[in-house]
Amino acid sequence: MTEPASTFHGRASRYDVLVPAPADGSTRARLGRLELTHGVVETPQFMPVGTNATVKALDPADIAATGATIILSNTYHLYLRPGHERIARLGGLHRFMGWDRPILTDSGGFQVVSLGDLRVIDDDGATFRSHLDGSVHRFTPEHAIAVQEALGSDIAVAFDQPVAPSSPRAVVADATERTHRWAARSMAAHGRPDQALFGIVQGGLEPDLRADSTRFIAGLPFDGICLGGLAGDETPEQRDATLDVAVALLADDPRPRYLMGLGSPADLLEAVHRGIDLFDSVLPARVARNGQLWLPGGRMNMRNRQFLDDPRPVQDDCPCPLCRSFSRAYIAHLFRANELLAYRLATCHNLTFTLDFMARIRAAIRSGIFPAVMPELRLRAGRSSGREAAEKSA
Ligand SMILES: [Zn+2]
């Protein structure tokens, strides 16, 4: 490999941009290598979500076999159950869940703020009722960092106040200001030397607020920049425009850029094109558990009767355990019979498809042909994101 185009040395990470975005402006897509305490992550990359210290229905060997090199786990959920102090006593999150590769923990901001009537936000933090038992808890930036330090993830994330993309301007402005103060406090509170710390840009869909937030967060010595407050109720066009504002300001910034919460292959492709390096979403696994399998150019719902007599594999060239050993008829039967194996096999397939898609994107960037093969990759990704939002909320 030739010399990296840029190298960023973080507090517990190193990010090399191996192939920068081309000078002709045909794409902002770039190829990178993120070195973390528990291993290396090639970017652009997708992180499967392990909410409760498990990617639902998969064990760590299954997760690795999908091609995943890093997963996300949720601070809010682990804080409530089984408790971050218990996980720390048991040797940290990696040992607890038997996953020895990189883990990113979110800050809990999204879950806490999503509780609606169950939470109250003030300038110091957020008070909320547990969705499990109604007990009252409080998260401040300092506490969110302490919980993540106890969990021992490779990447911790600053505590923020996300708002729905379509929120009124005054609401977005207020939450963005608070996010900035909380970012500085998260930074000051963080001390674990083997853990990287990312900051979150907010600003909704307002170009000036998004630009201010990007400048503010990028001005702090974080190890990576998260773009929050997207992958919600915005249109694809609004998302693209917002990414163009933020990424243009980060063009010369050597740190990784992470768009939180985006998960359909069509959406991932467009966001890579606009310069995003990291993604996470529950979407591939969630729709798999409902019987929807992703294929090159389309989708199949295995609850559909037509598959009950179909002896073919779900996807011919897929290396996942479902496609290697079983027919469409078998997985269709498992779903109709509510057999647990259906969840594992379907999840393995959709994550394998998603991570293979990211590998294809990386290969195209590496070869310098990404803009040229985008039409082909769009076809492979299948349905675009307009209809995805409806599915996500379903
Ligand atoms: Zn498969």
Q: How far is CA 325 from the centre of its chain?
A: 30
Output DSSP code: residue 81: T
In 3D, which of 192, 223, 222 has the Cα closest to residue 92? Answer: 192
What pLDDT, on a 0 to 100 scale, did the predictor assign at position 2? Answer: 76
Residue appearing with tokens 């939180």: 260
Q: How many CB atoms lie under 10 A from the CB of residue 27?
A: 18
State in Å: Cα 345 to ligand 1 middle. 8
Is the pLDDT assigned to residue 389 strictly greater than 80? Answer: no
Cβ atoms of 72 and 103 within 8 Å: the answer is: yes
**Residue-level pLDDT at 123:** 95
Contact 358, 44 (CB under 8 A): yes
Contacts of 272 (CB under 8 A, 6+ apart): 29, 44, 361
Nearest one of 310, 248, 243, 251 to 279, comparing CA atoms: 243
Q: Using an 8 Å Cβ cutoff, are 181 and 187 in contact? A: no
CA of 87 relative to ligand 1 center, distance in Å:
33
Q: How far is the CA of 346 from the centre of ligand 1 (A)?
A: 8
**Average predicted confidence (pLDDT) for the chain:** 95
Helix, strand, coil percentages in the chain from 3-state DSSP, rounded to 5: 45, 20, 40
Distance 312 CA to ligand 1 centre (A): 12
pLDDT score recorded for residue 1: 56
Active-site residue, 280 included:
yes
DSSP 8-state secondary structure symbol assigned to residue 73: E
Distance separating alpha carbons of residues 216 and 280, to the nearest angstrom:
24
Distance of alpha carbon 260 from alpha carbon 248, whole angstroms? 18
Q: Out of 16, 62, 223, 280, which one is annotated catalytic?
A: 280
Ligand 1 midpoint to CA 375 (Å): 23
Angle between helices 340-366 and 265-273 (to 10 degrees): 20
Closest Cα to residue 32, out of 329, 279, 277?
Answer: 277
For residue 123, the Cα-to-chain-centroid distance in whole angstroms is 27
Q: How far is the CA of 32 from the centre of ligand 1 (A)?
A: 27
Does 316 participate in catalysis according to the annotation?
A: no
The proportion of the chain whose per-residue pLDDT surpasses 70, expressed as a percent, equals 97
- On the question of pLDDT at 393 being above 50, the answer is no
> Tokens 């970012």 sit at which residue?
183
pLDDT tier at 394 (50, 70, 90 boundaries)?
very low
pLDDT higher than 90, residue 112: no
What are the residues whose beta carbons fall under 8 Å from the beta carbon of 204, sequence distance 6 or more? 163, 165, 167, 169, 172, 176, 210, 229
How many residues does the structure list for the chain? Answer: 394
Q: How far is the CA of 322 from the centre of ligand 1 (A)?
A: 5
Ligand 1 center to residue 65 CA distance, Å? 11
Asked whether 27 and 21 are in contact (CB, 8 A), the reply is yes
Task: Name 273's Cβ contacts closer than 8 Å, sequence gap at least 6.
Answer: 27, 28, 29, 370, 374
Among 138, 258, 146, 266, which Cα is nearest to 200's? 258
Q: pTM to 2 decimals?
A: 0.96
Question: At 147, which amino acid appears?
Answer: V
Whether omega before 44 lies within 30 degrees of 0, making that bond cis, reads yes
Of 106, 154, 277, 356, catalytic: 106
- Could you report the per-residue pLDDT of 255-284, keeping only the tens digit for each? 999 999 999 999 999 999 999 999 999 999
For residue 372, CA distances in Å to 241, 270, 365, 369 come to: 22, 14, 10, 5
Ligand 1 centroid to 315 CA: how many Å?
Answer: 6
* Tokens, residue 281: 């979403």
User: pLDDT per residue over 46-90, tens digit each?
Assistant: 999 999 999 999 999 999 999 999 999 999 999 999 999 999 999
Q: Say what angle helices 265-273 and 236-249 make with each other, to 10 degrees.
A: 30
Q: What is the Cα gyration radius of the chain?
A: 20
> What is the whole-number distance in angstroms between the Cα of residue 295 and the centre of ligand 1?
8
Maximal C-alpha separation, the chain? 61
pLDDT, tens digit (0-9, with 9 covering 90-100), for 185-209? 999 999 999 999 999 999 999 999 9
